[in-house]
Structure 1
Amino acid sequence: MKLHPTSDFRGLPPAEDALVRYLCAHAEALLNAAALLGDRPAVRRTARLFEELAETRQPLTRRQHAGIRDLHRLLSLEGVDDPDSLEAACFAEIDPASPVVEEICLLTDGLASRLAALRQAEGQPFGMDLSAAA
């Protein structure tokens, strides 16, 4: 994977550029968080997203927006309310006192702030889903 913060993302609108650079700068930590919160399926999805982003030179596609949105949902623990879900099982294995919990919270907040900036730049209300974007 060639994803790193110094990649050349010219051609991306500024808010998308900031979002992709954030993801690049935190790729390893995000992959680790995906492993903890969603096991192998989440790692595969996240790695595939990063592979696509590594080649990005134009505005993000719907698929890339969806992948970023799915990553944010995973980090935000949106799937843990279903006791039969893989996310719930993974979440139950995490010690709440572990330092990874704080790191995941910081990653989630950072991603959320870049997504909010992207929504604002696109003229969307904060709570609007980005699925129609790109």
Structure 2
Amino acid sequence: MFDTTPDVAAFGVVPSTPLDELRSFAGAWQDALLDAAGLLGGSAGLRIAHIVLDGLAQPAKPSRRTMRALDELLQLLRLDDVHDPSRIEAELFSAIDPASTCVEEICLLAVNRRRSLTPYRPPKLTPLGARGAGPRRRSFQAAQPDRASDDPGLRLGS
């Protein structure tokens, strides 16, 4: 009967935590997320979007299921699987007119969704041997001077 959900925009309240920001985004773009999920993923995409929206509507911290669904929704919005002809996403995406206004909206949703999820992502670590990873570390033995060669009295056979 009455909507008890506070309207953030009406009061000019800025979300204070990343979770509040994520919830605010999901609430503000709920219809667009559902439309994009249905357009790009069919009934499976709609199911994923509903899991996300329902999970973020709960007052507690989002569950693993909700976070997995967020990742799947982001994959759907980023068009990660449209190149695979065996997936439904490829068929549904090929039916979309590139000049349609929904294409721009889907791109904006994907960018904004990725930004809203950034606080939940662990920092990306670069392997030590990878290019651009900074100076290589030497092993403990390589960092220690060779004691036998530094002191003539410690050499074997002397």
TM-score over 0.5 for the alignment?
Answer: yes
d(CA) in 2 for partners of 1:5 and 1:34? 25
8 Å contact kept, 2:55–2:62: no
Question: Aligned equivalents of 2:25 and 2:124: distance in 1?
Answer: 19
Structure with the bigger percentage of helix: 1
Gapped regions of structure 1 (runs ≥ 5) = 8-12, 128-134
CA contact (8 A) 2:81 2:87 kept: yes
Q: Give the % identical residues.
A: 37
Cα displacement string for residues 30-60 of structure 1 (whole angstroms, at most 9, x for unaligned residues): 0000111001111122123212322x21221
For structure 2, the 5+ residue unaligned runs are: 9-15, 126-158
Name 1:125's counterpart in structure 2.
123
| 1:30 pairs with 2:33 | yes
User: 2:51 — aligned with what?
Assistant: 48
State the match for 2:144 in structure 1.
none
Could you tell me how far 1:118 is from its partner in structure 2?
A: 3.3
Quick check: 78-87 or 45-54, which moved more? Answer: 45-54
The code of the aligned residue for 2:123 comes to: P
1:28 partner amino acid? D
Contact 1:31 1:43 in 2 (8 A): yes
**Counterpart residue identity of residue 45, structure 1:** I
Deviations 1:59-114 (A, max 9, x none): 21111111111110100011112111000001100111111100110111110111
TM-score, reference length from structure 1: 0.77
Counterparts of 1:48 and 1:109, CA distance in 2: 20
The structure with higher relative contact order (CA 8 Å, sep 6+) is 1
Within-5 A mapping of 1:52-91 = 52-54=55-57, 56-91=58-93
Counterpart in the other structure of 2:107: 105
Kindly tell me the number of residue pairs found equivalent between the two proteins. Answer: 115
Deviation at 1:17, TM superposition (A): 1.6
What is the RMSD computed on CA atoms of the aligned residues? 2.1
| In structure 1, distance between residues paired with 2:36 and 2:76 | 9
Once structures 1 and 2 are overlaid, which stretch shifts more, 70-79 or 57-66? 57-66
Query: Which runs of at least 4 in structure 1 moved beyond 6 Å after TM superposition?
Result: none
Rg comparison, structure with higher value: 2
CA distance in 2, matches of 1:100, 1:33: 8
User: Does structure 2 conserve the Cα–Cα contact (< 8 Å) formed by 1:5 and 1:21?
Assistant: no
Question: How many Å apart are 1:5 and its aligned residue?
Answer: 6.8
